Amino acid sequence: MKCTNKIKYGFSICLILCFFSVCGCGKPVYELPYDVNSPVSGFKVTAGGKSSSVAEPFASDLCIITEDITLDSVDMSQVGAAVLFDADNKEVLYSYNAHEKLYPASLTKIMTAHVALQNSSPDKILTATNAVNITESGAQLCGLKAGDTMTMSQALHILLLYSANDVAMLIAENVGGTIEGFLDMMNEEAKRLGATNTHFVNPHGLTDVEHYTTAYDMYLIFNEAIKNDTFKQMIQTTSYQTTYYDKDGKAKELSFSTTNRFLKGHFDPPSNVTVIGGKTGTTNAAGHCLMLLSKDASGASYISIILRSQTSDELYAGMIELLDEINK
């Protein structure tokens, strides 16, 4: 009888422990599985209403795209992908090939800047190594040499306005310890944000078959980056002058203007739409790419992205078509 009682007692304890481990002391626990290999980012989880027995979805404060949303007034048939989001109301206004994996070119630098701002300070002094010696033909460079020094703030301005690839390497090595360490940080942050169809193998966006993203994933990354006021200020800067130093302490002057042709005044957005800022990207493989933060007449925010346009003029003409939907 004693042995039987002990067995019954032990079994009862096991049941109680199992109950609390599953229910969390009486509070339901909901496991929301997601697959990093899913063809659709953002976990595709939505909630139908507010209830104590309904788990809050990962993407409750994000725009969600499960299929193309096209308009007769917008023709994006000649680009790789295009999206337009009402960022304040979490509404998808236009979507074409949003989840197709494409080369991001220098839109990559949005994530580079975002991770750097998360893990460093604007006044941190960065020192260049031979990692900045990029020899790829046509690569945008500011001419950094091993031993050159500048602050993180200087580097980020050069990265986001002038899109210098050597500065991307400078930032990555100084923040991550190694380039590989920084890439791990970029890819982990992409996963955290739900950008499950994105993979980075460099911090600048020069072409590599294993370096890709989607228009929707770039929205997720950009939407997070613009929460930082320093980042937001930098992407709307039109020109920048600065002085950095070589290994011997000799001053080196640098002056440039933004690559964004809206901010340059080469193209005008539709009436009642103001382009705040964004990022450009161009390689032979990626085509011409553009990501923008804009506002309407009431101050509401919009995010628009076009990937793989054939020419720069077509890119900006297409972006004007997208932005014109804000007024409708």
Marked catalytic residue, from 163, 294, 304, 309? 163
Phi, psi of 121, rounded to the nearest 5 degrees: -125, 150
Q: Which two tokens stand for residue 235?
A: 């992407």
Sign, CA dihedral 54-94-215-294, equals negative
Marked catalytic residue, from 95, 106, 294, 309? 106
Is 41 considered catalytic here?
no
Is 137 considered catalytic here?
no
Cβ 74 vs Cβ 321: under 8 Å: yes
Is 298 considered catalytic here?
no
304 has which bridge partners? Answer: 84, 292
Alpha-carbon distance of 275 to 26, in angstroms, equals 50
Marked catalytic residue, from 38, 51, 60, 109? 109
Q: Name the residue among 49, 54, 52 with its Cα closest to residue 32.
A: 54
> Could you give the 3-state DSSP secondary structure of residue 231?
helix
How many other CB atoms are found less than 10 A from the CB of residue 10? 10
Q: Would you please indicate which residues are annotated as catalytic (active-site) residues?
A: 106, 109, 163
